[in-house]
Chains A and B, each alone.
Chain A
């Protein structure tokens, strides 16, 4: 067992729990617990959004893709960076203003219901269920990644790692709520940022500098230096299309709602963009430099490139810190998703449907129990990392993007949007993502190996978010245009938001 790394991990966990306790002291009511009383500042807001948005993908998947395929792996991070920026640019301020004007909505389902005067509760129920189901699998998948890291680093069993990780996350999220999640995300975002800066710089320096690194990667294969290597037009559209997913991510939208004012969002956008671009570049060059570093002895699993470099190039204390960064990437995403799921359970379903006049104290109890129940559900699924149910996570990013993205954009920017339009858009978006994904997956042959793409019902690959987003947008438009028009007070409220200076 690596005792130095273990010490660093324990110190990190203690820091998280301490932050959770400080947040508990600061939380006065239910609004504080779910949205921090809309008091989030731009620096913490920007960095914590980045940390909660970037999961283990930042330090495992992305460097792994660059290590395996060279610089052509850059399309996906470029798509993500552009999508995230556009989301901050167009959705951030408007969401902050509109959610306050629309009956002080504190969650996404709450906003949709208030925005469209939906007395049937159908928007609230469908959006809450979608959030609950997909985030539960997302959380499970994150726990699997964290527990595997424990297993590999310390040689402890997978189940023990899973339990330790779950107890710490449940601990600080349930006691401290939104403040705990955003403050720990900020703290974890700083650690992730430092790791993304330190590892590529040290690796490239170790290899003799930039030119040497590029040249060595080219010696391994010239295709490593060509951004178009192994790509197709639809493939590039698919990779860039990942950025569309940002418009519908509930945990990102909730950060916008929690900012102190819409003016702070401009500053937070800069903080976020600098954090995000530098972190993505760091991850890109960890993978790319890894090609040159491991040229003579290639890694069997490309996704371990960050872990291997951390263990080879640094002293054990810094290695411990870098491995904590990997855990931070996983944990910061899980805690945000956990809080949003518990909010959907307590605020959107429990209070919204059954106990409209529930007291603050009652709601705080319900949401804390909700955090624990959802975590337990996620832990049970995560106990079997091979479970096929975890493949559902593959739908989650595209699902959120296609279900909520066009609905939110239309609700914010088109006066003519109606409840029917949004409802149809959400359903069409969700169904398209699942059906498209199933139809474009090639069948398995008699030998158990997947056949070529041309054998699938849809004989070409296009990331399901792209058609899902397009079809959902069309559905929002058609059903809004041909159904009953928006009411007079909805239109007046829409105009009020335009001139609002919140």
Chain B
């Protein structure tokens, strides 16, 4: 007979630890987005307007 893990065991194997990897990658992605947004005002130097400034003009 083929034995297999109980449902709770499968949950413990495949959910908590892999989720940590996903969370950590999401936070790296979010930081990259934030850094990108912070760099945007630099566009002013070349005479372009950010979308925020365009909306407020």
- Which A residues are within 8 Å of any B CB, using their own CB? 71, 74-75, 77-78, 81-82, 85, 88-89, 211, 214-215, 217-219, 222, 225-228, 263, 266-267, 269-270, 273-274, 277, 280-281
Cβ of B43 within 8 Å of any chain A Cβ, yes or no, is: no
Q: Is the CB of A71 within 8 A of B9?
A: yes
* Contact residues of B between 19 and 42, Cβ < 8 Å to A: 20-21, 23-25, 27-28, 31, 35
How many residue pairs between the two chains, A and B, have CB atoms under 8 Å in the bound complex? Answer: 79
- Among residues of B, the one whose C-beta sits closest to the C-beta of A46 is B24
User: B31–A214 contact, CB under 8 A?
Assistant: no
Taking a contact as CB atoms under 8 Å apart, the answer to whether A81 and B16 are in contact is yes
Contact partner of B3 (CB less than 8 A), chosen from A75, A78, A218, is: A218
Q: Is B9 within 8 A of A280, CB to CB?
A: no
Partner of B6, one of A211, A225, A280: A225
Q: Is the CB of B27 within 8 A of A281?
A: no
Assess A78 versus B9: contact at CB under 8 Å? Given A85-B23, A211-B2, A214-B3.
Answer: no
Q: Could you say which residues of chain A place their CB within 8 Å of the CB of B6?
A: 225-228
B residues sitting closer than 8 Å to A (CB atoms) are: 2-6, 8-9, 11-13, 16-18, 20-21, 23-25, 27-28, 31, 35
Q: Say yes or no: B20 contacts A214, CB within 8 Å.
A: no
Q: A78-B12, A225-B9, A226-B9 are in contact. Are A85 and B4 (CB under 8 A)?
A: no
Judge whether A277 and B17 touch: CB under 8 Å: yes
> What residues of chain A lie closer than 8 Å to B11, measured between beta carbons?
227
Name the A residues within 8 Å of B2 (CB-CB).
Answer: 211, 215
Is A218's CB under 8 angstroms from B24's CB? Answer: no
B12 touches A227 (CB 8 A): yes
Q: Quick check: B8 and A228 within 8 Å, CB to CB?
A: yes
Establish whether residues B3 and A266, one from each chain, have CB atoms under 8 Å apart when the complex forms: no
Rounded to whole angstroms, the CA-CA distance of A499 and B28 in the bound complex is 20
Residue of A nearest to B16 (CB): A78
With A71-B9, A267-B28: A277-B3 Cβ-Cβ less than 8 Å: no
| Residues in A neighbouring B23, C-beta threshold 8 A | 85, 273
For A226, list chain B residues within 8 Å (CB): 5-6, 8-9
Write the chain A residue with the least CB distance to B4: A214
CB-CB under 8 A from B28, the residues of chain A are 266-267, 269-270
User: What is the minimal beta-carbon distance from B15 to any residue of chain A, in angstroms?
Assistant: 9
Within the complex, the shortest CB–CB distance from B17 to chain A, in Å, comes to 5
Say yes or no: A214-B5 contact (C-beta < 8 A), given A78-B12, A269-B24, A269-B27.
yes
Min CB distance, B28 to chain A, in Å?
5
Q: Given A82-B16, A228-B8, A266-B27, A273 and B3 touching (CB < 8 A)?
A: no
